[in-house]
Amino acid sequence: MISSTLILCVISLDSSGASVVGLANTSITVAGSKADLRGKIPLNELGQEISAPPAAISISAEDVAWDAGGVIKVSWQPAAGTTSATKWIVERSEVLAAGQGAGQGAGQGPWTLVAEVPIAETNAVVSKLSPDASFFFRVTAVSPNGSSAVTTTKSAATGHWNFFIGAKLPLFCAILLVSACVIYFILAARRGRPMKVRRIAALEAITDAVGRATEMGRSILFVPGIQDMDNIQTVAGLTVLGNVSRTAAEYDAAIEVPTSRSLVMEAAREAVQASYLAAGRADAYNADAIRYITDEQFGFVAYVSGRMVREKPAACFYMGCFFAESLILAETGNSIGAIQIAGTAESSQLPFFVAACDYTLIGEEFMAASAYLSGEPDQIGSLKGQDVAKAIAAIIIILGVVLATGAAIAPQGAMPAALEWLKGVLGS
């Protein structure tokens, strides 16, 4: 009969030289002892260690700098022989002020699991902690044979608030750069500097589409996407709606705007009413033509598709944020022979619109539509600023390609360092 001895008691050395003796989840410290008993860990018949793994030698916790607070990095030093374990368990305990604890005195809260990390790793970033609250951390190695003794931080750590989130610095700089370009060209346009914008066929076709609907005596359908007013694409869609409805008012064509959000319905009504007023056709404005259907994606599509098949609008505009419904709408519009103009910044939906619509505003063209249609120098100037920012982005991309190619060809030269520097600057 084969028998084996199971010893649950493991001993390892911590950073102070004291031995930490663990029995399951309990631990005692033997001060001053430096006896190494790891050699006495019993093995099974296959020569495998069958006792619990040794505890971490030391553990520390520090605040992560330049963050939004509530993030602490916990690091520990594993003892030799920890490789038999499968993972580390990291727990935290909040430092309680007087009156918060069970005994109503200052002390520690209960231990809560915050992370489980692979055994090869020696640190964990603990986030979503209460900012400016202090915590103790402890770590335990876990193996199929049991858990090591716990190793606890000697002092509490606090995830302090910082003035600025450092990880977002490249994004902040990029926004400042683009904003500076846009504002500079807006001011330049105000000073009378001529701005040239290339012709956008889809926007030029708006007048033709509205004219066609007028000639055919049919309505115009405008769908401002399926998202709410907190989506910039919906706002961009409404800016186009203002222009389309103004043209429709001038041509005396009926316009219908089904919406999938109540707030969008109200905003669309304001936009269309203002356009009818501006065109001197306030009497022709019909608020009921701009109606709320449902928030449900496919319920909305079912209504709009059915409406298209029954009413057969001569012109269909899809301007906003769309998802899977984009192709259903565009194909239905195509089947009834309507002239279709779409615009979205959802890159995954662009191929569907390109395939099924007559004209498609691709991404930035859609965002530029309002400025283009207004013809105002201020807004055209902003497009110029956007172009300059795009040129800067192109230069950075070319620089990155050259450096990456150079680093691949000559890995020992200066190129890899330059590439790493560029990556660091861009925050990638």
Residues 340-379 that bind other proteins (CB under 8 A): 345, 347, 350, 352, 354-356, 362-368, 370-371, 374, 376, 378-379
Q: Determine which residue in the list 65, 324, 410, 426 makes contact with other proteins, applying CB under 8 A.
A: 324
In the beta sheet, which residues pair with residue 90? 115, 139
In the beta sheet, which residues pair with residue 59? 76
**Residue 428 binds to other proteins (criterion: CB under 8 A):** no
**Residue 312 binds to other proteins (criterion: CB under 8 A):** no
**Residue 313 binds to other proteins (criterion: CB under 8 A):** no
Q: Determine which residue in the list 143, 275, 349, 360 makes contact with other proteins, applying CB under 8 A.
A: 275
Distance CA 54, CA 20 (A): 9
Shortest distance (Å) from residue 280 CB to other proteins: 12
**Residue type for position 69:** G
Residue 40 · residue 10 · CB < 8 Å? no
Token code pair at residue 266: 């109200």
Residues 115-124 as b/e (b if ≥16 CB within 10 A, e otherwise) read bebebeebbb
Radius of gyration of the chain (CA): 33
Residue 205 · residue 341 · CB < 8 Å? yes
- Residues contacting other proteins: total by CB under 8 A: 88
What's the first-to-final CA gap in the chain, in angstroms?
Answer: 60
CB atoms within 10 A of CB 326: 26
Q: Determine which residue in the list 10, 61, 221, 265 makes contact with other proteins, applying CB under 8 A.
A: 265
- The piece of 192-200, 203-211, 320-328, 407-415 that touches other proteins (CB under 8 A) is 320-328
- The piece of 30-38, 46-54, 137-145, 273-281 that touches other proteins (CB under 8 A) is 273-281
CB atoms within 10 A of CB 388: 16
Site string for other proteins, 8-47 (x = CB under 8 A): ----------------------------------------
**Residue 274 binds to other proteins (criterion: CB under 8 A):** yes
Residue 147 · residue 140 · CB < 8 Å? yes
Q: Determine which residue in the list 104, 270, 414, 424 makes contact with other proteins, applying CB under 8 A.
A: 270
**Residue 393 binds to other proteins (criterion: CB under 8 A):** yes
- Whichever of 87 and 160 has its CB closer to other proteins, that residue is 160
- Whichever of 52 and 330 has its CB closer to other proteins, that residue is 330
Residue 50 · residue 145 · CB < 8 Å? yes
Q: Determine which residue in the list 219, 320, 382, 407 makes contact with other proteins, applying CB under 8 A.
A: 382
Residue 266 · residue 302 · CB < 8 Å? no
Judged by CB under 8 A, the chain residues 148 through 187 that form the site for other proteins are 161-165, 168, 171-172, 175, 178-179, 182-183, 186
Shortest distance (Å) from residue 424 CB to other proteins: 19
**Residue 302 binds to other proteins (criterion: CB under 8 A):** yes
**Residue 239 binds to other proteins (criterion: CB under 8 A):** yes
Cα separation values, 180 from 167, 184, 374, 389, 411, Å: 21, 6, 22, 9, 37
**Residue 273 binds to other proteins (criterion: CB under 8 A):** yes
Shortest distance (Å) from residue 406 CB to other proteins: 19
Shortest distance (Å) from residue 352 CB to other proteins: 7
Residue 389 · residue 176 · CB < 8 Å? no
Distance CA 205, CA 244 (A): 11
Q: Which of 70, 317, 371 is nearest to 202 (CA)?
A: 317
Judged by CB under 8 A, the chain residues 197 through 236 that form the site for other proteins are 228-230, 232, 235-236
Q: Determine which residue in the list 68, 200, 404, 418 makes contact with other proteins, applying CB under 8 A.
A: 68
- The piece of 99-107, 208-216, 274-282, 410-418 that touches other proteins (CB under 8 A) is 274-282
**Beta strands, E only, 127-184:** 134-143, 146-147, 151-152, 157-158
Shortest distance (Å) from residue 292 CB to other proteins: 3
